[in-house]
Amino acid sequence: MTTIGDLNVYDDIFVGGRWQPANSSRFIEVVNPATEHVWARVPDADAADIDAAVNAAHGAFIGGGWSDIGATARATIIERFADELAARGEAMAAVITRENGTPLTETSAAASHSAGILRYFTGLAPTVDAEDTRPFPNAPGSFTTVRRQPVGVCALIAPWNFPLTLVMVKLAPALVAGCTVVIKPASETPLDLRVLVEAAVAAGIPDGVINIVTGSREAGALLVQHPLVAKVAFTGSTEAGQIIAAQCGTLLRPVTLELGGKSASIVLPDADLDYFASVLNRTCLRNTGQTCYNSTRILAPRSRYTEVVDLVAMTVAATKQGDPLDRATVYGPSASARQRDRVENYIAIGKAEGATVATGGGRPVGLDRGFYVQPTVFSNVASGMRIAQEEIFGPVLVVIPFDDDADAARIANDSRFGLGGSIFSTDDARALALADRIDTGSIGINFFGSNHAAPFGGWKDSGMGVEYGPEGLSAYLRLKSIHRKG
């Protein structure tokens, strides 16, 4: 790293167990969203850089060692990785907050949460090493041994909103499976993975198992299409995911896609509204609305519509927005100028469509620097409005009325997306029956959260495949049947 004034200039990529100078002479600027200050530059990797990283990963995969020692032995090393990562929680939080503006109240748990993901998947290591023996149904004495083997080099491409966690949900199962990886972080958040590398090296992850390149979407495309990549895992927009899916389809390359969302939070007539208010920010506006599964559509019964709108608007207006380094802050800035512009454009669209601004709708007073926009709640929203159909990925909520449970299910399903969702009710049986009618990969009753042990994935335009759970691990394994005659 070279320091020029208060600008940190990095000219390297992590390949084959060491930081080495990038071939590319192009750079990407890293901007602090809370101050608009350019504080770092990193390489915008070119084809030679991508090739070097993939070849290092391929060499580590075929060279013996990591893929051959068995999942149980790998798990011992990965447990050390988890410990080293957790020990760097404070450093990790500071970098992420500076990169994307996520408040410290959120980023402080990033390292420990990711360490927990590593530990969960190490617990599945025995299932990777296990062999199944299956007899031939019509050939007594003959049998087949089914073995699980790693798929090979994996391209892991992560977004900027949860830059560590959304790498880890891919990296942890890949490592346990015995794969080697090349990680490309989002261009907005390239530096937190330097802390991850410190932890991996300290834990003794072998050279070439983890490789990191920074760069633009063009670098990501080169990585996806590299001939030595055996699997792709991507989290990001639906539009980018469609392009990657087409590329992987042409290459017959396995791909996991976790994409956009426009989830619904259904507040049934018997819901405890005080409780709903207490979990509103976590369920509907986590990370200043920059969370894929946020329930940004709130469906309220007509009988309590005004009451729900007032409660939501009051809760949002009373929640602190400001400096993400202040631990009292819940809403930070948008992650970039481009993202703030997107949010403001959708607020203008909502007003033009005839929706009513219940709170917010502009820029916050006193926050003149940084990519801030007021958290905004719209009422008098119809399901067909663009603000109710399109993913905004910012602090904008819409409140839509419904007549009965069937109408709530119809409105919730009136979306191209199907990622998350929530139902609030004091009647568990009623809520569970309604949950079965919602076309979504995950839904919570009286809360929403991701369970490491359960599959997480989107339906419809929200993705392909799943992460987490044994199902997430299986995406990094190939099955081989060895037939034996009795």
Which range marks the domain in which residue 193 is found?
2-259+463-484
Report the distance separating Cα 297 and Cα 312, nearest Å: 12
Report the distance separating Cα 185 and Cα 217, nearest Å: 10
Judge whether 456 lies within some domain: no
φ and ψ at 321, to 5 degrees? -115, 140
CATH number at residue 439: 3.40.309.10
311-325 pLDDT tens trace: 999 999 999 999 999
The answer, as to whether pTM is greater than 0.95, is yes
129-173 pLDDT tens trace: 999 999 999 888 999 999 999 999 999 999 999 999 999 999 999
Does the annotation count 292 as an active-site position? yes
pLDDT on residue 8? 95
Catalytic residue among 258, 344, 391, 467: 258
312 & 332 share domain: yes
pLDDT on residue 82? 98
CATH number at residue 227: 3.40.605.10
Segment (H or E) for 221: helix 217-224
Report the distance separating Cα 450 and Cα 441, nearest Å: 11
pLDDT on residue 3? 83
Q: List all residues 6 or more positions away from 129 whose beta carbon is below 8 Å from its beta carbon.
A: 70, 71, 72
Does the annotation count 131 as an active-site position? no
Judge whether 457 lies within some domain: no
pLDDT on residue 412? 98
Catalytic residue among 179, 292, 391, 467: 292
Q: What are the residue ranges in the chain where pLDDT is below 70?
A: none
233 & 249 share domain: yes
Sheet containing strand 210-212, strands side by side = 18-21, 12-15, 210-212, 180-184, 153-157, 231-235, 255-258, 463-464
Closest CA to 175 of 13, 51, 61, 54: 61
Q: What Cα–Cα distance (Å) separates residue 124 from each residue in 14, 116, 235?
A: 28, 13, 23
Report the distance separating Cα 139 and Cα 137, nearest Å: 6
Residue with tokens 């969702």: 421
pLDDT on residue 6? 86
Q: What Cα–Cα distance (Å) separates residue 30 from each residue in 35, 93, 100, 243?
A: 12, 16, 9, 25
What tokens were used for 408? 């709530």
pLDDT on residue 4? 82
